[in-house]
Amino acid sequence: MKKEKRYFGRLLMILALIFFYLPIVFMMVISFNSSKSLTSFTGFSLKWYQAMLKNHSMMESLYVTILVAVLATIISTVIGTMTAIGLSQSTKRVRRYVSVVNDFPLMNPDIVTAIGLMLLFITLNITKGFGTLLLAHIAFCIPYVILSVLPRVRALDPNLADAAMDLGATPFRAILQVIVPEIMPGIVSGSLIAFTMSIDDFIISYFVTGGGVKNLSIMVYTMSKRVNPSVNAISTVFVLLITIILILVNVVPAIRSKHVKATTELKKKKKWPVFVVAGLIVAVIIGSVAGLKSNSTAKFGGQTLHIYMPSEYIDEDTVAEFEDTTGAKVIMDNFDSNEQMYIKVANGEKYDLLIPSDYMIQRLISENMLQKLDQKALKKTFNTINPLILHQSYDQDNAYSIPYFWGSVGIVYDKRKVTLDELDREGFAIFKDTKFKGQVYVYDSERDSFMMALKSLGYSMNTTNEAELQQAYNWWVEVMKTMDTEIVTDEIIDNMAQARKALGLVYSGDAASILSTNKNMGFYMPKEGTNIWTDAMVIPKNASNVPLATEFMKYILSKKVAILNSEYVGYTSPVKAVEDQLAKTTFKGNAAYTPRLGYAKDEVFGYNDKSRKIIADLWSRVKVAASNA
């Protein structure tokens, strides 16, 4: 019976270890994958580690993460230890009050703490960046240190400090040489917890940082919205780094204690392993960051360009080259939606360059939030743009915007399960065909989802007619009730590349990536018409560096750079020569890379606040219906 219990206990332990560590092992293995797939291993390669090392933003996020964690750990450990020692000499009422205050942030939801700190910095008019990120990390690390050190302080003989001072020690010396060595296990434990919490934090960091300063968790969040295996590479490097630190902190002192006689000097070194490691890490970080200084002798040397754009929407190598060429520093912030971008810009946050979508550009123009482009400086660049995507309804004279990427919305389908005849016959209504029940993905975009319903019903996707919008809503409710449809976001790219379902509504650039990965997938644009969209570069009214923003526009749309950027992202370049070249080379035979133009039933989204609010409300009700189906 005892043996059975022992075996059962070991089995549970093994299962627990597998549960905790298998995802990490899988991530490390897939980081050496030769393809972009995040789920299927196709061959060994170091290409994603090379891409990671070339990516300035990723490496800087790693530096910021470690630097903030080390500094926050050291500062919070000192403050937390001093507080714990001070509490031991305080009255019972003070100790009780401080304990309650200390426990509150530990139990408080991170989102509440994050918003509170963000509002505090805004109220005090403190510019968000590295300083606010560090202050926030110190603030939430201190309670953990106090919680770890306080029990050790309470266990001490209360007369220990008095005895040291009776023997001639000053109060400071008594604390440093008598109290601290006795409570060192608690200090080390608290510092390790503080370091771990700082490394791990995302929510608080996301709300309190700014100015392009990102830690690793924020970087991974922005990069995971599209298929980017470099995320696995940098995560693997970080896991290995943490493992090395843990070995240095725990294993090395244990080995040394077995083979080296304890001397006073050695004891002191053993008692401070965390801070020795921390000092080495800080030195490496400072040296690495020092090597990232820009070329101050170039034309724009020492200047800064603030860009606000969708995440994973640019080849980082091109950004690094722009910095090297101009001597400028590019600070890039990312938004999840045009609406999120609008809120920040409307509230006065300063950026030099924005990359929103067509309908949002129309809104920004109508609300006088943009300034006109330097047409003379951009004349040659405009001459390279495909004329069919210029002079659209959102900016008819292209006075405020120049295209960045363009594309369409269509259907990716498994050619082994869906025929072209079925698509021609049904169009978007194929998403209602019960033959494909449980085999359908829909992208979680209220605008494009209602676009396909309206087009299927024969209406304009820019309709403001409430009766037509209600019919589109009923169309979707029927789909949710009968089709077992799965509403997803960017995970659709990898899922459709693995042919996990028969049909999916996707953007053309994502479809191009899917078709490049899996030759069994096809792309179809329904005859009812679809959304032909353009994302364009614009300069906000309060931009600080217009000449540098204009220089970036010319640079990113130069032929060489536009090729690299379009190959990396997968969306269609607005530069006509680049589009034609890639259609014959990198994306040869890829039906998704070059969307159709000039088709009468295709449309461009316009901005209408009334219909936007109605569609947003109806789509949220559709998703509720989907969850209840």
**CATH number of the domain enclosing 188:** 1.10.3720.10
Asked whether residue 138 carries a pLDDT value surpassing 80, the answer given is yes
- Tell me the percentage of the chain whose pLDDT exceeds 90: 48
Residue bearing the bigger pLDDT, 154 or 391: 391
- Does 11 reside within a domain? yes
pLDDT in tens, 462-501: 999 999 999 999 999 999 999 999 998 888 888 899 899 9
Q: How far apart are CA 188 and CA 205, in angstroms?
A: 24
Write down the pLDDT at residue 157: 77
- Does 262 reside within a domain? no
**Domain of 597: which CATH number?**
3.40.190.10
- Does 472 reside within a domain? yes
Count how many domains the chain has: 4
Write down the pLDDT at residue 17: 80
Average pLDDT over every residue of 316-328: 89
Please identify, among 210, 229, 248, the residue that sits at the C-terminal boundary of a domain: 229
Q: How far apart are CA 437 and CA 31, in angstroms?
A: 34
Average pLDDT over every residue of 595-614: 91
Whether residues 81 and 219 fall in one domain: yes
* Report for 3-12, 98-107, 126-135: range of highest mean pLDDT: 126-135
Confidence label for 274 from pLDDT (cuts 50, 70 and 90): very low
Whether residues 392 and 421 fall in one domain: no
Whether residues 68 and 84 fall in one domain: yes
- Range with the poorest average pLDDT among 31-40, 333-342, 372-381: 31-40
* Report for 120-124, 222-226, 295-299: range of highest mean pLDDT: 120-124
- Does 282 reside within a domain? no
Whether residues 113 and 214 fall in one domain: yes
Asked whether residue 279 carries a pLDDT value surpassing 80, the answer given is no
- Range with the poorest average pLDDT among 42-46, 291-295, 385-389, 450-454: 291-295
- Does 279 reside within a domain? no
Asked whether residue 504 carries a pLDDT value surpassing 90, the answer given is yes
Residue whose C-alpha is closest to residue 361's, from 167, 539, 480, 95: 539
pLDDT in tens, 579-596: 999 999 999 999 999 888
Asked whether residue 614 carries a pLDDT value surpassing 90, the answer given is yes
- Does 452 reside within a domain? yes
Please identify, among 229, 260, 280, the residue that sits at the C-terminal boundary of a domain: 229
In the structure encoding, which two tokens stand for residue 446, read together?
Answer: 């209220």
172-207 CB burial, b ≥16 within 10 A, e <16: eebbeebbeeebbebbbbbbbbbbebbbebeebbbb
Whether residues 445 and 370 fall in one domain: no
Whether residues 60 and 175 fall in one domain: yes
- Range with the poorest average pLDDT among 92-96, 199-203, 415-419: 92-96
Average pLDDT over every residue of 372-376: 96
The per-residue DSSP string of 432-487 comes to G-GGGTT-EEEES-HHHHHHHHHHHTT--TT---HHHHHHHHHHHHHHHHHS--EE
Question: Average model confidence (pLDDT) for the chain?
Answer: 86
State the DSSP code for 389. G
Write down the pLDDT at residue 288: 47
pLDDT in tens, 184-236: 888 988 998 999 899 889 899 988 988 778 888 888 777 655 556 777 888 88
Write down the pLDDT at residue 1: 63
Beta strand pairing call for 539-540 and 370-371 = antiparallel
Report how far apart, in Å, the C-alpha atoms of 90 and of each of 22, 98, 478 are.
Answer: 48, 10, 68
- Range with the poorest average pLDDT among 45-54, 364-373, 504-513, 557-566: 45-54
- Range with the poorest average pLDDT among 326-335, 424-433, 572-581: 326-335
Whether residues 27 and 99 fall in one domain: no
Whose structure tokens read 């570069």? 537
Asked whether residue 144 carries a pLDDT value surpassing 60, the answer given is yes
Asked whether residue 286 carries a pLDDT value surpassing 60, the answer given is no
| Cβ-contact 607, 360 below 8 angstroms | yes
Residue bearing the bigger pLDDT, 69 or 298: 69
Asked whether residue 601 carries a pLDDT value surpassing 60, the answer given is yes
Half-sphere exposure of 33 (CA within 13 A, CB side): 22
- Range with the poorest average pLDDT among 16-30, 157-171, 405-419: 157-171
Asked whether residue 113 carries a pLDDT value surpassing 80, the answer given is yes
Residue bearing the bigger pLDDT, 285 or 138: 138
Q: Alpha-carbon torsion 433, 435, 437, 442, what sign?
A: negative
Asked whether residue 71 carries a pLDDT value surpassing 90, the answer given is yes
Whether residues 117 and 26 fall in one domain: no
Asked whether residue 134 carries a pLDDT value surpassing 70, the answer given is yes
Whose structure tokens read 């607005």? 574
Asked whether residue 15 carries a pLDDT value surpassing 90, the answer given is no
Average pLDDT over every residue of 69-88: 91
Please identify, among 195, 229, 263, the residue that sits at the C-terminal boundary of a domain: 229
Asked whether residue 296 carries a pLDDT value surpassing 60, the answer given is no
Asked whether residue 503 carries a pLDDT value surpassing 80, the answer given is yes
Q: How far apart are CA 401 and CA 537, in angstroms?
A: 6
Whether residues 140 and 72 fall in one domain: yes
Average pLDDT over every residue of 565-577: 94
Other CB atoms within 10 Å distance of the CB of residue 488: 18
Write down the pLDDT at residue 276: 47
The per-residue DSSP string of 216-283 comes to HHHHHHHHTTS--THHHHHHHHHHHHHHHHHIIIIIHHHHHHHHS---HHHHHHHH-HHHHHHHHHHH
Residue bearing the bigger pLDDT, 94 or 270: 94
Write down the pLDDT at residue 404: 98
Average pLDDT over every residue of 123-127: 86
Whether residues 128 and 102 fall in one domain: yes
Q: Can you give the residue range of the structural domain that contains 436?
A: 406-533+585-628
- Does 529 reside within a domain? yes
- Does 292 reside within a domain? no
Whether residues 82 and 104 fall in one domain: yes
Residue bearing the bigger pLDDT, 589 or 241: 589
Whether residues 181 and 41 fall in one domain: no
